[in-house]
């Protein structure tokens, strides 16, 4: 992983940066399938919908029914209900819930770790399930042109361990993985891991 060499300075927003990198990677090209592994309020999923071709879908996961409700509401408000399939389930189960026909065809996968804003902070992503889900996501992705992004937060209890587990996974198993730290001078600032598979790297 180009972890050290790719670190950039400045306290950027990891969410904005993940959207910008994905938009730049795909350019004008649309994708038929994207996955939001942590739906939360649905903003990342809504961004992913903007990458879809006609008839394409965003598959989304969250262990909290409230997150699925909020995300579905956002898609409804934007007239995009037919563009989503959201599951009240852990992302570690994504291989069982995404149709087999799409295996190898998922263009973009986002993870935005942590907890659902405005709800119980103890219901947060955990290193073991996060690592299992990232491995599953890599299996599902289109390796000829795919973008994987994981926003990790280091300041909350358990956040640093999760950041380190994701870092180790990227280092060992994810080709062309990169890591950018929002503010290298701040040990608690968020990090963005990402990988660009295939063309456009």
Ligand X SMILES: C[S@@+](CC[C@H](N)C(=O)[O-])C[C@H]1O[C@@H](n2cnc3c(N)ncnc32)[C@H](O)[C@@H]1O
Q: Which residues bind ligand X (CB under 6 A)?
A: 36, 38-44, 61-64, 67, 90-92, 112, 114-116, 123-125, 129
Nearer to ligand X, 43 or 198 (CB): 43
Please state the closest distance from residue 199 (CB atom) to ligand X, in A. Answer: 26
Please state the closest distance from residue 2 (CB atom) to ligand X, in A. Answer: 25
And the tokens for 184? 């290298």
49-56 long-range contacts, CB within 8 A, separation 24+: 49/75, 49/78, 49/80, 49/83, 49/84, 51/22, 51/23, 51/26, 51/107, 51/108, 52/83, 54/30, 56/30, 56/31, 56/32, 56/83
Nearer to ligand X, 91 or 154 (CB): 91
Please state the closest distance from residue 182 (CB atom) to ligand X, in A. Answer: 15
Please state the closest distance from residue 49 (CB atom) to ligand X, in A. Answer: 12
How far apart are the C-alpha atoms of 115 and 64, rounded to whole Å?
A: 10
Question: Residue 198: phi, psi to the nearest 5?
Answer: 75, -150
Nearer to ligand X, 54 or 96 (CB): 96
Nearer to ligand X, 2 or 23 (CB): 23
The residue of the chain with the least Cβ separation from ligand X equals 40
And the tokens for 69? 């409700």
């Amino acid at each position: 992983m180009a972890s050290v060499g790719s670190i950039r300075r400045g306290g950027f927003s990891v969410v904005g940066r993940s959207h910008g990198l994905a938009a730049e990677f795909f350019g004008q090209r649309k994708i038929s399938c994207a996955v939001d592994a942590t739906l939360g309020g649905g903003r990342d999923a809504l961004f992913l919908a903007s990458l879809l071709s006609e008839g394409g879908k965003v598959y989304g996961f969250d262990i909290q029914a409230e997150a699925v409700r909020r995300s579905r509401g956002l898609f409804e408000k934007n007239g995009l209900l037919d563009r989503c399939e959201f599951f009240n389930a852990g992302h570690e189960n994504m291989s069982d819930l995404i149709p087999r026909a799409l295996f190898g065809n998922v263009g973009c996968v986002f993870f935005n770790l942590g907890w659902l804003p405005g709800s119980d902070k103890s219901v947060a992503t955990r290193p073991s399930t996060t690592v299992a889900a990232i491995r599953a996501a890599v299996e599902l992705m289109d390796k000829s042109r795919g973008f994987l992004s994981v926003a990790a937060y280091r300041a909350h209890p358990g956040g640093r361990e999760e950041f380190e587990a994701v870092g180790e996974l990227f280092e060992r198993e994810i080709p062309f993985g990169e890591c950018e730290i929002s503010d290298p001078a701040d040990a608690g600032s968020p990090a963005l891991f990402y990988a660009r598979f295939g063309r456009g790297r």
